[in-house]
Structure 1
Amino acid sequence: MRRKPSTELPRFVIPHPPSSQWRRRHVLFVFTGLLFVLWLLRSRRACPEGDGINWRKYAYSLYATDGATLCHAVLVFDSLAKLGSKADRVLFYPDAWDTVISDSRDRNSQLLVIARDKYDVKLQPIKLLTVEGRTRDGFTGTWQKSVTKLMAFSLGYYDRVIALDSDITLLKPIDELFLLPDTPIALPRAYWYKVDPPPLTSLLMVIKPNLEEFERFKDAIQEGGDTAIVQAHKFDMELVNERFEHSALVLPHRPYALLSGEFRKKNHTAYLGNPWETWDAQKIYDEAKLVHFSDWPLPKPWIMWPLEGLAEIQPDCGGSHQGTCAERKIWKGLYEDFRARRKDICRLLSVPAPDWSKIKASAPGDNSTEVQG
């Protein structure tokens, strides 16, 4: 077998060391790649759901003035979590409270910890806002501090905040409201008022936080309000209407502001928005996103019904006190669901039923969210 001459054999060639230009280019590529990875990670943190929206710029705001409203705020946070809400959550509460659980009966501290640890709520201890000259609510005996909801205007580190009352049930997600066109405030009208147009209702407010606006509200609150307005339990609503009545973006009350009392009424034209549509209780319930409890003179859902009051006030199913109908089934179901969640999440039982004769004898407050049957 012929051996190959040395000139035909493969040669081992020592490669030239890489040039300094190539090394610089290599470092540049690596550096650029690292920057891209860092940007990608930061973008994913800013838009955790990958939908291109920075949900950290938005928040839901609720407030608590006592143990009951604290529990009900936690119920709303629970609903937001279950409905897949992506925005932050903020809770204003009295600065006398803390998150140190002293014993098993320290329910306020327990609920604050649940809100913080389970629902990722940002806790904001504050001195509650109080209308000067206001004494006590005639029925519940609690101090009137609902104007504390206006603290939402102080959250200047958010682009938009949704401020909610806590005596509600959320049925569907409402995150889409954060993406409304730019406006200082958006809210529904109190469709149950018998004036045209109805006033704006503060039970749901989509707010562009503004510290100057907040200071103006504080000044008005500290000056006190008209006696009739304050005694009507609607001072926060009055403030909002005086400021934004002619400039607010009006949200459709259908589906964002359905009162529980609507299922007791006989004329539904105001809610339907027209006189020709046929009322369908199940359809209305299915399309609603938020229900606000309002069935004066029956108490709110955390207070048990007086049996006489229930028989008198519940949906009458066309005059029948036997059996049931869609209106009665839905109406009772809303209350039963609220009480069950209050017991399961807050570990709180309902308040015993008050004396029905005393409730009926008291003058009905023209509350901003109360509707007569």
Structure 2
Amino acid sequence: MYGASHDLVLIFPKDWSEGTSEQAKAIDNIRSKHPHIHLRPMDVISTSKGDATWRDSLTKFQSFSLTEWTRILAFDSDSLVLNTMDHYFLSPMAPLAVPRAYWLNEKDTDIAKQVLGSHVMLLEPSKARYDKIIKEALQSGEFDMEVINHMFRDSAMILPHRRLALLTGEFRAKNHSQYLAPDEDEEWNAMAEVSRASLVHFSDWPLPKPWKHRTSKQWSDALPDCPKNEPNRDDRPKCADRVMWTGFYEDYDRLKDQECGILHGHKNH
């Protein structure tokens, strides 16, 4: 994956490794095609709170149990890797390092009240810390972001959100000052941001997550604007936001069919 020099680990539901289900066949396909990937079946950790879209998001905390490794860069399944991320392992050691949830924080928000993101986490696995996090998550019934903020708000190391915590929703936004901070006056260039970014996270609610079926209306309603009077630019295509945004979904769909096509009625090649 983009020349990654570190181990790659895939966490997946434990029942996917058993029997002859389509999910089990998909895992077997990954095992056969990518023998270098470490496959780790895990229990799904859920909350009964809120929308079903995010109920199983606590499962990401299983990353803290991977004590065979000293450090893990964990990111959600609704993400697309755009460039190598090896350099993040050169960051100072810390139990947890995360970017801020930049889209939730205003410039004048008190530093102690700024929200941490949880869709990408650089963490040090620890059995004791894992037990503590799972206990907190199950007792509170909160989602992953709330749990991370409650437990690590005063201790997490902050990673720059730009390049690492990019959201697909940013390409539908009119104001990019929160993402561009501290260079709020910089001109937004969708193509340049994608070329520099390491990871993009799919976040276009109410458009379904990229592995789910979406209707043509949901798609058209979510498309970034494409002004008819947009001028030609030398450093980007016309309607660059839409071009980049649709490209993310097209790439995800292609990779989904390539690696997990059996789950969607396609034959893998």
The residue that corresponds to 2:177 in the other structure is 269
Q: 1:136 to 1:117 in 2, by over 3 A?
A: farther
Q: 1:171 to 1:137 in 2, by over 3 A?
A: same
Q: Which structure ranks higher in relative contact order (CA pairs < 8 Å, sequence separation ≥ 6)?
A: 2
Q: C-alpha deviations, 1:205-260, integer Å up to 9, x for none?
A: 010111111111121123233xxxx4xxxx11111111211221111111101101
Consecutive aligned runs of 4 or more in structure 1 exceeding 6 Å deviation: none
Aligned counterpart for 2:127 among listed residues 211, 234, 241: 211
Instruction: State the 1:202 CA deviation.
Output: 0.9
Aligned counterpart for 2:23 among listed residues 103, 108, 116: 108
For the residues of structure 2 that align with 1:296 and 1:350, how far apart are their CA atoms? 22
The residue that corresponds to 1:330 in the other structure is 244
Instruction: State the 1:320 CA deviation.
Output: 6.6
- TM-score, normalization by structure 2: 0.84
Confirm or deny that 1:199 pairs with 2:107: no
For the residues of structure 1 that align with 2:105 and 2:88, how far apart are their CA atoms? 27
Q: Counterparts of 1:211-290 in structure 2 under 5 Å?
A: 211-225=127-141, 230=142, 235-273=143-181, 274-290=183-199
**One-letter code aligned to 1:317:** C
Q: Could you tell me whether the CA contact under 8 Å between 1:264 and 1:315 is conserved in 2? A: yes
**One-letter code aligned to 1:318:** P
Q: 1:202 to 1:350 in 2, by over 3 A?
A: same
- TM-score, normalization by structure 1: 0.62
The residue that corresponds to 1:171 in the other structure is 82
Q: Counterparts of 1:114-125 in structure 2 under 5 Å?
A: 114-119=29-34, 120-125=36-41
Q: 1:97 to 1:298 in 2, by over 3 A?
A: closer
SS at 2:178 equivalent: helix
Aligned length: 252
Aligned counterpart for 2:216 among listed residues 299, 307, 311: 307
Q: Could you tell me whether the CA contact under 8 Å between 1:162 and 1:207 is conserved in 2? A: yes
Structure 1: which 5+ runs fail to align?
1-79, 352-373
For the residues of structure 2 that align with 1:162 and 1:238, how far apart are their CA atoms? 19
RMSD: 2.5
Structure 2: which 5+ runs fail to align?
231-236
For the residues of structure 2 that align with 1:128 and 1:206, how far apart are their CA atoms? 21
Query: Identity over the aligned pairs, expressed in percent?
Result: 38
